[in-house]
Amino acid sequence: MSAATRRRWTNWALNALTYGVLIVMMAPVLWLVASSMQTSGQLANGDYDLLQPTLQAFSDMWKSIDFERYLANSIVICTGAAALATAFASSAGYALARFRFRGDRAYGLTVIGTQLIPGSLFLLPVFLGFVWLKQNTPIALLDTHLGMILVYTAFFTPLSIYFMRAFFQAIPRELEEAAMVDGCTRFGAFVRVVIPNAAPGLLATFVYAFLFAWDELMFATALTEQDAETIPIGIRNFIGNYSEEYDQLMAAGVVSTIPVIVAFFATQRWLVKGLTAGAVKG
């Protein structure tokens, strides 16, 4: 075999391997979708009929889980938290990217340091704080959208600050200097010149916070009871009540994944840039 032939064969084998790996990685997701379109009987005895999919499990699940309520809660809470986290992170990230101030290093370290705290350590005090507010003030945070939004905002702001800092560092300083020469205030330059130039970063940060908030389970377990329960809680409750109805469970899994999949793939270009820039810059 000549060297060229051998190289062609190696190339071909690596291509095949690449597609093989892709199939293995995608298989569980495809299995989730396929299973959601079968009846629970078919799931139990394994004779899938992929040519005759049914959407029965979706409509059953919608009723038995009362999925609409959880879905609406998740959308409201995650959108609110992601928007607030992005706003706070962009102003704090801008401060870290452009300004020196007493305590800037300590602040940057504390922000990262929050990621070291196990949720279980501050969950109970947050819960107690919410209970106290409920009993002693008109501020309703326990089992409300607002309470969950505030908690999730705090959770996902720290890493967002570092994403935004990386994006701001890539914007030339001359841009806001020119705006200030033209009579903008410092804040005006930030809002009117820097922010629009960092739009891809804002979008990436928003989607990052949304994705992670969508996935949060531990605090939702303790801080919601009825009105503000999110999708993970709905799924957990469903497992507790109808553990054998796998068709509905798979359907619920598909529906809970669709919003994040859509958000992710729609913004993939910027998100990937934000995630990798954040990681590379550390």
Partner 1 sequence: MSTTPTADMPVTEAGPAPARRRPRLPSRPRPARAGIAERRRARFAYWLIAPALAFMVLVHLIPTAAGTFLSFLDLNTFTFQRLFGAPWAGLDNYDSILFDASNPLHSGFTNAASNTAFYTAWTVGLTLLGGLAIALLLNRSFPGQRMVRTLMLTPWVVPSFVVAVLWQFMWQRDAGIVNKVLVDYTGVLGERPTWLLGENSMWAIIVPSIWRGIPFAMLIFLAGLQAIPRELHEAAAIDGAGPWQRFRHITLPLLRPLIAIQLLFGVIYSAYQFAIPYIMLGSNPGPSADLLMTLVMRQSFSNNLFGYGAAVSTLLMLAMLFWVLVWYRAFRRDLVEAAR
Give min distance, CB of 170 to partner 1, in A.
14
The Cα-based distances of 66 to 61, 99, 121, 153, 253 in angstroms read 7, 49, 32, 26, 14
Give min distance, CB of 18 to partner 1, in A.
5
Give min distance, CB of 56 to partner 1, in A.
17
- Count of C-beta atoms within a 10 Å radius of residue 135: 8
As a whole number of angstroms, the distance between CA 102 and CA 105 comes to 8
* Cα distance from N-terminal residue to C-terminal residue, the chain: 48
Question: DSSP character for 21?
Answer: H
Q: Which is nearer to partner 1, 68 or 215 (CB)?
A: 215
Please state the separation of Cα 114 from the chain's center in Å.
18
Contacts of 86 (CB under 8 A, 6+ apart): 160, 164, 202, 205, 206, 209
As a whole number of angstroms, the distance between CA 151 and CA 281 comes to 27
Q: Which is nearer to partner 1, 201 or 253 (CB)?
A: 253
Give min distance, CB of 62 to partner 1, in A.
17
Q: Which is nearer to partner 1, 66 or 222 (CB)?
A: 222
Q: Single out the residue of 252, 230, 253, 68 nearest to residue 152, CA to CA.
A: 230
Q: Which is nearer to partner 1, 12 or 182 (CB)?
A: 12
Q: Nearest-5° angle of CA 276, CA 13, CA 28? A: 55
Q: Which is nearer to partner 1, 193 or 211 (CB)?
A: 211
Give min distance, CB of 140 to partner 1, in A.
16
Q: Which is nearer to partner 1, 56 or 236 (CB)?
A: 236
Q: Which is nearer to partner 1, 136 or 187 (CB)?
A: 187
Give min distance, CB of 125 to partner 1, in A.
4
Give min distance, CB of 101 to partner 1, in A.
4
Q: Are 93 and 281 in contact (CB under 8 A)?
A: no
